[in-house]
Amino acid sequence: MPTATHSATEMAMPIGYISVLAKGTPIASSPGAAQTPTIKAVHPLARPSNALRTMTATNPNTAGVARASSGPNRRILVRYQRGPSYTGSVMSDWGSDTCSGVATSTTTESTWQERRGEDGRRRWFAAGEPGVAVLVAVVVALAAWRRAPVEALVLAGASFVVIGRWRSGLGIAVVALLVVVRSDAVHDGLLADQLGPFAGWASVAAEPNPGLDATRVILQVEGERYELWVRGRASRLRVDAWQHGDRVWVEGTRRPLDPKRAGRVAWQHVVGALDADVLGDRVDGRRFDVASNRVRALISAGTSSLGFDDAALARGLIIGDDSDQPDEMTARFRLSGLSHLTAVSGQNVALALAIIAPLLERTRPPIRLAATIAAIAWFVVLTRAEPSVLRAGMMAALAAIAFALGREREPPRLLAIAVVVLLIADPLLVRSVGFWLSVGATAGVTMIGPPLQRRLSPIGWLATPVAMSVAAQIGVLVPSVAVFGRFSVIGIVANLVAVPVAGLVMLYGLPASVVAGAVPAVRWIVMLPVGLGTRWVDGVATVAAAIERRPPWNVAVVAAVLATLACAFRAGSAVKASAAGDNIGRERPRPPRR
């Protein structure tokens, strides 16, 4: 224990976790806790240790619980068996310092170099790096698309060459073959078992989608899905009242789809068409569906105080319901590159979790994890389990599980695992355009966005929105050109202006619309910010679409933006090179030798 006397005139110095002088006084340069006066210790506060973990010691955040001299205890170290973030090694062998109780790891230099290499740079396909998971996701997606066992094995072999570890290559081959078998079984299920006349009860599998002269709805008949096109004013008004999960009486004829149409709706598991002669009564479905329909009804009632177009856009931003949006609005949002705002994404899921986070803050970890996953599942059902929300919900659930287990939560790894899990569960998602747009945008934001943001740091606070907007547009470039045959060049600028306001509408709009729907007296004042936000987003889409239709102007605007980004990128590279020059001669931290 330290003596009661100390020199009051000496300068204050930080107490480190482990590094000490010969007489036990903490070294001032050690990373550590709060500033305290120097003291004279009779016994050392902590014995010297050569563990790599000492380089990344952090401040104790709870006064009176963790001391700078003791560091984290053995229970916490065993609970989170991960080394420093830049090593990626698993600390499996723990020793105890008999004097201080500080655990030490047996992380070796070979493991550290396996992740970093001799030059200290990160190896993307090293053990434990997210590049391996991304490679598995690419192989699984190609296997689900092609459904060819030989090609799957070839892809697995190529993965083995890239990774250089036979166990990883064998695992990728097994997963690819599993996806091929699963995909064949699901595609065989797209053949209708029964065709011809039908009279009975059917379940509404997808919300009615009104078009210009007809309304499309998907019905589940005897375990199989059929699409129904309804024409005529009276029939369309009857069908528009149907909701997901409702049971309706239908009489008609089931027939197969033509091959081209079957390929377009395969991701929805539609096996045929239903020509209805009689549309009868409607009854409520399961309680779970009824509960979600009531919440959606509250949101619809809350947004009803806005204009028709603003209300339709607000529902699209909040819960991804774009069924009531006019064709003109849909066209200008696609033309301006803002159509992703009306599809539920990770931003919607994150904002929904942010709303319930204060309620779960003081609960125990198992209860918090279960409640978080339940909230994610509820939001997925509320938004009708579209491909984009399935991707976002799966990533959120994986992040929650990784946080509870103390594992790494790198977004590229979470995205790759989510794609693999979803394609194993439903290989037909590989044919969904919305799924690939969502995956592409997320991949661009998580993989291209961070390094681009660092390079654009000279432009200040604009670096983050500019980098993320450009990265998202790069991510959706391939699917946009392959499917729609065009790419919105003005989308980079439009997203910079519209996305921040759209995020505020998503965050505020969900609870506000529920309150406005439940309490009509305050509906107008509560929904006023939502109305202003939706008009701003729609106005940006209108202006951007008008510029996009004029090729000389849209090219000029994008050229100006790219020139600004190029100047910022060059300045960022110069700053990075200058910083690298300043670090020449400094010894890079090395792991200890055993």
Mean pLDDT of 169-183: 88
Q: Is 406 left (phi over 0), alpha (psi -120 to 50) or beta?
A: left
The reported pLDDT for the residue numbered 580 is 56
Q: Which residue has the higher pLDDT, 97 or 566?
A: 566
Residues 523-543, mean pLDDT to the nearest whole number: 92
Q: Give the pLDDT confidence score for residue 220 in this predicted structure.
A: 94
- Please state which CATH number belongs to domain 196-285: 2.40.50.140
Residue 406 has pLDDT above 50, yes or no: yes
Residue that is written with structure tokens 């790891």 in the block: 105
Query: Helix 387-405 to helix 433-443 angle, to the nearest 10 degrees?
Result: 40
72 neighbors 18 (Cβ within 8 angstroms): no
Two tokens, residue 407: 């594992």
pLDDT over 50 at 416, yes or no: yes
10 Å CB burial of residue 110 (0-12, 13-18, 19+) is exposed
pLDDT, residue 565, reads: 65
Say whether pLDDT at 66 is over 60. Answer: no
Tens of pLDDT, residues 340-393: 888 777 778 887 888 788 888 888 888 989 999 999 998 888 888 888 889 999
Whether the Cβ atoms of residue 250 and residue 279 lie closer than 8 Å to each other: yes
248 contacts 201 by C-beta, under 8 angstroms:
yes
- Residue 129 pLDDT greater than 80, yes or no: no
Confidence band (pLDDT; 50, 70, 90) for 201? Answer: very high
The residues, any chain, with a CB within 8 Å of residue 304's CB and separated by 6 or more, are: 311, 523
* Average pLDDT over every residue of 154-162: 82
Amino acid at 110: S
**Which DSSP category does 444 fall into?**
I
Largest distance between two CA atoms of the chain: 97
Mean pLDDT: which of 463-467, 516-520, 577-581 is highest?
A: 516-520
Greater confidence (62 vs 215) lies with 215
Phi and psi at residue 228, to the nearest 5°: -125, 125
- Cβ–Cβ under 8 Å, residues 448 and 474: yes
Q: Average pLDDT in the 149-164 region?
A: 83
**What is the rounded average pLDDT of the residues 269-292?**
90
More confident residue, 63 or 303: 303
Q: Higher-confidence residue: 25 or 198?
A: 198
**Three-class SS string for 335-354?**
HCCCHHHHCCCHHHHHHHHH
φ, ψ of residue 198 to 5 degrees: the values are: -145, 140
Question: Does residue 92 have a pLDDT over 60?
Answer: no
> Which positions ≥6 away from 476 have C-beta within 8 Å?
340, 437, 440, 441, 444
Q: Domain boundaries in the chain?
A: 1-119, 130-188, 196-285, 302-551
Q: Which of 205, 264, 307 is nearest to 434 (CA)?
A: 264
Helix (H) or strand (E) holding 273: strand 270-283
pLDDT in tens, 211-229: 878 899 999 998 899 999 9
pLDDT of residue 555: 65
Q: Given pLDDT bands bounded at 50, 70 and 90, which one contains residue 553?
A: low
Question: Is the pLDDT assigned to residue 395 strictly greater than 80?
Answer: yes
Query: 477-484 and 433-443 are packed helices; what angle lies between their axes, rounded to 10 degrees?
Result: 160
**pLDDT above 60: residue 116:** no
Q: Is pLDDT at 477 greater than 60 in this prediction? A: yes
| Burial environment of residue 380 by CB neighbours within 10 A (0 to 12, 13 to 18, 19 or more) | buried
- Greater model confidence, 83 or 456: 456
- Residue 478 belongs to what H/E stretch? helix 477-484
Q: From CA 179, how far away is CA 429, in angstroms rounded? A: 12
Check if the beta carbon of residue 534 is closer than 8 Å to that of residue 544.
no
Is the pLDDT score of 87 beyond 90? no
Q: Residue 589 has what pLDDT?
A: 53
Give the residue from 293, 299, 308 showing the smallest Cα distance to 517.
299
Query: E strands within 352-426?
Result: none
Query: 541 and 336 in contact (C-beta within 8 Å)?
Result: yes
pLDDT of residue 461: 79
What is the structure's pLDDT at 46?
47
Helices and strands (H and E) in the chain: how many: 22, 9
CA 148/CA 495 separation, integer angstroms:
39
Helix (H, G, I), strand (E, B) or coil at 446: helix
Backbone angles phi, psi at 574, to 5 degrees: -65, -40
Mean per-residue pLDDT over the chain, rounded: 76
Q: Is the pTM of this model over 0.85?
A: no
Residue pair 548/486 in contact (Cβ under 8 Å)? The answer is: no
Local confidence band at 170 (pLDDT 50, 70, 90 cut-offs) = confident
Cα-to-chain-centroid distance, residue 399? 9
String of DSSP letters for 240-270: HT--TT-EEEEEEEEEPPPHHHHHHSGGGTE
Confidence of residue 571 (pLDDT cuts 50, 70, 90): low
Q: What is the mean pLDDT of residues 147-166?
A: 83
DSSP state letters, 180-239: HHHHHHHHHTTS-S--EEEEEEEEEEEEEEE-SS-EEEEEEETTEEEEEEE-SHHHHHHH
377: enclosing H helix or E strand = helix 365-382
- Tell me the C-alpha to C-alpha distance, in Å, between residue 193 and each of 267, 270, 448: 18, 12, 46
